[in-house]
Chain A
Amino acid sequence: MKFTFEWLKQHLDTDAPVEQITEKLTAIGLEIESFEDRSAALADIRVAYIEEAGQHPDADRLKLCKVNTGEKMIQVVCGAPNARTGIKVALAQPGAIIPIDGSKLKAGKIRGVESQGMMCSTRELCLGEDHDGIIELPADAEIGAPVAGVLGADDPIIEINLTPNRPDCTSVRGIARDLAAAGMGTLRDDPYQQPVAGSFDSPVSVTIADDVLADGAAPAFYGRYIRGVKNGESPDWLKARLEAIGLRPISILVDITNLATFDLGRPLHVFDADKLKGNLDVRYARDGETLQALNEKEYSLTSDMVVIADQAAAQSIGGIMGGELTGCENDTVNVFVECALFDPIVTAKTGRKLQINSDARYRFERGVDPQSVIWGIEVATRLITELCGGEASHVVRAGEVPAPKNSFDLRIDRIAELGGVAVEQNRAAEILTALGFEVTAKEGVLGTIAPTWRPDIVGEADLVEEVLRIVGYDQIPTVPVERETSLPVPAISPMQKRVGLARRVLASRGMYETITWSFADSRLAKEFADLKPGLFVANPISSDLDVMRPNALMNLVSAAGRNQKRGFPDLALFELGPEFFGDQPGDQRLVAAGLRAGATTNRSWTGSRRDIDVFDVKADAEALIEALGVPAGNIQVNAEGAPSWYHPGRSAALQLGPKNVLGYFGELHPRILKALDVKGRVVAFELFVENLPMPKKKGTNRPPLNASAFQSVERDFAFLLDDTVSAEQVVKAARSADKGLITDVTIFDLYAGKGIEEGKKSLAFSITLQPTKQTLTDEEIDAVCKKVIAAVEKATGGALRG
């Protein structure tokens, strides 16, 4: 909402400087969006007088002017066709800043003749578009004075950022009322709202269709015929106001409707009565009915939209925009003024559907003061007859103007209870009265009736806010938050703690945390799940983000592809985020997903770089499981358990028992990588953080440490095994040989190839024997070793290598 300071003062009688006004506006909730003081930009431009305009000696189109600056006579070369002897002009002298481009004017020679200044056009001063000639100032302008004052451009333009709850402040008058309540002056009377007597009956009558009335879509419609008007260009004051807020003056009749809209928050429409066919009816549009609107676009209407129609067709979209065919033009003689009320919701829906953002819609969808139907028609009549002449009919009316009386009690103590600052009852009453409330004081309570222009007041809390915002939020003393206990209770639950830990464990393993969209591309997502129709976004932002992701890994894989394209193939990325398995609230699970691609490190002279493989992510997953409190030894690696997006022979599910799948790891399937546009080998893991059981035991105790006093012994073995024998089988078998003594089995070599027959492999491992009672003798060690060999041979059918 834009207005100028002088315009504000038409409604607000105040001595306050503009700085104080703008500060107060923000303080009472009408936040300053922008403040533009054009006079500062025009400071260097002064009134001057062309004493003599002669011909440039060397250029036909240029004039050589003797210009009186008030201090001296200077010579100015000027190309404007209207530069002539005896006019007053807007002069910039060397050193002046020219508003249009911020440049500093220099004296110079034009076609060999010295020019000591520049006479400016409207456009050069940023006051309009006109660049056909220089500005001609009024003859009575004082030579040497700043042009800003002469041009009416010394009036600062204020724009406020209006919250949607304040329809009353879509008008300069409403803003003035708020400021007056805040002690910034007094609200002036508006004489234009007084009734104007009509002298004849309107030849056009108005009706509202029954269904429209019943729905409350348009509760009231007042109209008035004014005959014998003379349209034309608006007076300067009116043009200046509209131009200051960025509106283009069109003609008096149109400009008056814009003025009423911004000045009083009262949108109006003026029909050229001679173009109307018969009487006007407010009705719902017919499906497919079209209307050529004032913005010169044609709209196709639907039956939920309210229109004002004559006997032939819809001529105006209710509350939004008038029609082109019945609009006023310069030769309009008889007009019909429409002043109606339209429902905010119907107006908003229509506006959105038709995608029309008009000043009328802006106001009606927020809620125009219903009582303005009554005084709005009078304001319009006065302005039209004053500026265009003519004779007004009696007012014709349809429907009934609502007179809401929203009454609420304000218990004076509630201000302090909610607001934290006590306000005396008299002061509160004074504030509310100034804002237009009817106030009745009782013991400790103010009875109030909200003004009709404040539909946002719906309860006591609103009254508290009204009083507080005028008193000022800065008056509320800052009180430290009281601590419930001397030490705060833990802010996070064990599960939340686990999530935070998971994040930092993965990062400390060299992985980079990412955050990717919760959305996914359904064409890719279908590789990861049967997509439930309920998880498609009805209105996706783009076609590649059209479904809630059924898998937390997939966007990470795409991210790997993007990084490859940027030239970064060595990647370790993870994300802790949701994946969606159902379309109801809560049908989501938290997944720690990670991937690695390329090599472990940058190329290095140390030779430490190597390609990543499945066992890197297996380590990541296991480390994470361990860190979250589940011993990795309890986890089963189910080589058949990984889903289809993994390499079938290089992946596994990690399980606790047959049913509880904690997650997966493996190499990603080449089909998936191709679909997601990723090159090379990518290994990944997914871990369902919430599936990991919480440690049952509460408390911080650790199990006792059993550090044996006796030296442990290691023995190495190498077996020739069938290729199909798994490492897990070997380890389990070796361990089972003596569960008490064997504390560790470590595989340290795996070989297949030359020297080993086809289909076989050599696997070497060491066992650690840890005695607890006494040092082992050679015989005891040999005995265990024999048991290990026997157990492994039995379990695997392999043979110890000689």
Chain B
Amino acid sequence: MSGAASFGRPRFFVPSFFILFTPAKASEVMENIEALREEVLAEVEKAGDLAALEDIRISALGKKGRITGLMKNLGKMDPDQRREFGQALNAVKDQVASAIDMRKSDLENAALEARLSGERIDVTLPSRPSETEGRIHPISQTIDEIISIFGEMGFALAEGPDIEDDFHNFTALNIPPEHPAREMQDTFYLPEAEDGSRLVLRTHTSPVQIRTMQSQTPPIRIVAPGRTYRSDSDMTHTPMFHQLEGLVIDEKTHMGHLKGCLLEFVKTYFELDDVPVRYRPSFFPFTEPSAEMDIGCSRKGGELKIGAGDDWLEILGCGMVHPRVLAACGLDPEKYQGFAFGMGIERIAMLKYGIPDLRTFFDTDLRWLKHYGFVPLDVPNMVRG
């Protein structure tokens, strides 16, 4: 191990080996042991690297080492001397061994530090680009939020087709044949069939009310979100948009329940402890009495703030299901009653998330999707708070 090229290593002095061969006085022997101890400890202290330290260990404690050599001589001594010198030598041996261990650990630490300090990298470099950063569209997220709120109130999700017939989209909803909503300028029609009938792209999600009442027996509690279509395209209208319809039918639900249900909804949806609410009498062909629901807001400084203030913001339309609608679905209006409501998903998404422009929802601009989209793990539920 003591390589020939070892430079600057301590030299080992032969004379100390011969000390014990001379029948010298005990005190001299002890002095020599002491001198050897100090000599080796000093060498250990000075060892500059692990290799030098190993050389020292071998020269002191190795098979032919200085301390080992002395130990070997003990056998030739008389028992008294052997005990005396043996104890002293063992003490020196332990001391040297532990000094070497300590020095070794110091040198190892220093060597590790030195290596690590050479491994420095620029941690200000940008992160490794992630491939997994997709987003959920605000419409989907808003629908999921609404469903989670109404789901907690016992509403089930219902669905219906985008292409509807006249009965489900209009007639059953008490919209008479001559109603202006049926005009080509408002409603998208498919080509006229041979029998003169025309299918429509549903103008609202209300036909799902009809389909539900036709196929289920009360009690009914549903919400029905979906795509809806109207022949309109300008700053605040798109030919396709989304609505959500709600329907409760049983034998005793009245307008007080309607107020309670919708109050709970707006408070939860807008994450407000309290919010002023106003119901205005209004008109829809399929409800009677009908109302529009406003919530309190402030528009001070051109900034819309929901929840408090001296102004009102229209949120949705609602009312008690019209007796004619119940009858059209085969339900006895004398026995069954309930409420319905409808809201525009884009509108309430815009209000909650501060999205300024309706048309951008369908523009598929990657920047918009990144900015207004939701991380996939943000799944709305009522525990979330």
Given the known inter-chain contacts A461-B323, A517-B362, please indicate yes or no for A418 contacting B153, CB distance below 8 A: no
Given the known inter-chain contacts A464-B289, A479-B260, A538-B198, please indicate yes or no for A587 contacting B163, CB distance below 8 A: yes
**What are the interface flags for B110-132 relative to A under an 8 Å C-beta threshold, 1 for contact and 0 otherwise?**
00000000000000011011111
Residue in A26, A481, A602 whose beta carbon sits within 8 Å of that of B153 in the complex: A481
B259 within 8 A of A: yes
**What are the interface flags for B169-207 relative to A under an 8 Å C-beta threshold, 1 for contact and 0 otherwise?**
000000000101001110011111100001101000000
- Shortest Cβ gap from A86 to chain B (Å): 47
Given the known inter-chain contacts A465-B290, A504-B376, please indicate yes or no for A26 contacting B320, CB distance below 8 A: no
B231 pairs with A539, CB closer than 8 A: yes
Provide the bound-state CA to CA distance between A571 and B168, in Å. Answer: 40
B282 pairs with A492, CB closer than 8 A: no
B81 within 8 A of A: no
B269 within 8 A of A: no
A573 pairs with B364, CB closer than 8 A: yes
A103 within 8 A of B: no
A518 pairs with B240, CB closer than 8 A: yes
A462 pairs with B288, CB closer than 8 A: yes
B370 pairs with A512, CB closer than 8 A: yes
Interface residues of B in 143-157 (CB under 8 A from A): 144, 147-148, 150-157
Provide the bound-state CA to CA distance between A583 and B189, in Å. Answer: 11
B365 within 8 A of A: yes
**Which A residues are CB-close (under 8 A) to B155?**
491
B135 within 8 A of A: yes
Residue in A26, A515, A605 whose beta carbon sits within 8 Å of that of B125 in the complex: A605
Residue in A508, A514, A534, A609 whose beta carbon sits within 8 Å of that of B377 in the complex: A508
**Which A residues are CB-close (under 8 A) to B367?**
566, 568
A534 pairs with B191, CB closer than 8 A: yes
B322 pairs with A461, CB closer than 8 A: yes
Given the known inter-chain contacts A483-B154, A538-B190, please indicate yes or no for A461 contacting B283, CB distance below 8 A: no
Provide the bound-state CA to CA distance between A496 and B158, in Å. Answer: 9
Q: Which residue of chain A has its CB nearest to the CB of B188?
A: A537
**Which A residues are CB-close (under 8 A) to B279?**
473-474, 476
B151 pairs with A491, CB closer than 8 A: yes
B130 pairs with A352, CB closer than 8 A: no
Residue in B128, B184, B364 whose beta carbon sits within 8 Å of that of A562 in the complex: B364
Residue in A165, A512, A517, A606 whose beta carbon sits within 8 Å of that of B239 in the complex: A517
B315 within 8 A of A: no
Residue in B129, B193, B373 whose beta carbon sits within 8 Å of that of A602 in the complex: B129
A510 pairs with B144, CB closer than 8 A: no
B369 within 8 A of A: yes
**Which B residues are CB-close (under 8 A) to A580?**
162-163
- Shortest Cβ gap from B147 to chain A (Å): 6
- Shortest Cβ gap from A554 to chain B (Å): 13
A507 pairs with B135, CB closer than 8 A: yes
**Which B residues are CB-close (under 8 A) to A462?**
288
Residues of B contacting A: mostly: mixed
B136 pairs with A519, CB closer than 8 A: no
B281 pairs with A513, CB closer than 8 A: no
Residue tally, chain A, CB below 8 Å to B = 105
**Which B residues are CB-close (under 8 A) to A517?**
239-240, 362
B139 within 8 A of A: yes
Provide the bound-state CA to CA distance between A572 and B364, in Å. Answer: 11
B135 pairs with A513, CB closer than 8 A: yes
**Which A residues are CB-close (under 8 A) to B376?**
503-505, 507-508
A563 within 8 A of B: yes
Residue in A484, A496, A578 whose beta carbon sits within 8 Å of that of B162 in the complex: A578
B282 pairs with A29, CB closer than 8 A: yes
A604 pairs with B260, CB closer than 8 A: no
- Shortest Cβ gap from B166 to chain A (Å): 11
B157 pairs with A493, CB closer than 8 A: yes
B219 within 8 A of A: yes
B261 within 8 A of A: yes
A511 within 8 A of B: yes
**Which B residues are CB-close (under 8 A) to A571?**
366
A601 within 8 A of B: yes
Residue in A493, A515, A539 whose beta carbon sits within 8 Å of that of B189 in the complex: A539
**Which A residues are CB-close (under 8 A) to B152?**
488
B134 pairs with A572, CB closer than 8 A: yes
A27 within 8 A of B: yes
**What are the interface flags for B83-123 relative to A under an 8 Å C-beta threshold, 1 for contact and 0 otherwise?**
00000000000000000000000000000000000000000
**Which A residues are CB-close (under 8 A) to B198?**
538
A478 pairs with B178, CB closer than 8 A: no
A417 pairs with B254, CB closer than 8 A: yes
- Shortest Cβ gap from A732 to chain B (Å): 30
Provide the bound-state CA to CA distance between A548 and B369, in Å. Answer: 24
Residue in A512, A545, A563 whose beta carbon sits within 8 Å of that of B134 in the complex: A512
Provide the bound-state CA to CA distance between A244 and B292, in Å. Answer: 29
A164 pairs with B369, CB closer than 8 A: no
Provide the bound-state CA to CA distance between A600 and B128, in Å. Answer: 12
A279 within 8 A of B: no
A585 within 8 A of B: yes
A459 pairs with B161, CB closer than 8 A: no
Interface residues of B in 195-240 (CB under 8 A from A): 198-199, 201, 219, 221, 223, 227, 229, 231-233, 239-240
Q: Given contacts A349-B178, A478-B263, A488-B152, could you give 14 more A-B pairs where the C-beta distance is less than 8 Å? A: A166-B283, A352-B180, A417-B254, A473-B280, A476-B255, A479-B254, A489-B154, A508-B376, A510-B133, A512-B134, A513-B373, A538-B188, A556-B364, A577-B227
Show 17 residue pairs from A and B whose CB-CB distance is below 8 angstroms, ordered by the A residue.
A166-B283, A418-B255, A468-B281, A480-B264, A491-B155, A505-B376, A513-B136, A517-B239, A518-B229, A534-B193, A538-B190, A539-B189, A541-B233, A586-B163, A587-B163, A600-B131, A601-B129
List residues of B whose CB falls within 8 A of some A CB: 125-126, 128-137, 139-140, 144, 147-148, 150-157, 159, 161-165, 168, 178, 180, 183-185, 188-193, 198-199, 201, 219, 221, 223, 227, 229, 231-233, 239-240, 248, 252, 254-261, 263-264, 278-283, 288-292, 320, 322-324, 337, 361-367, 369-370, 373, 375-377, 379
Closest 3 CB pairs of A and B: A491-B151, A420-B256, A29-B281
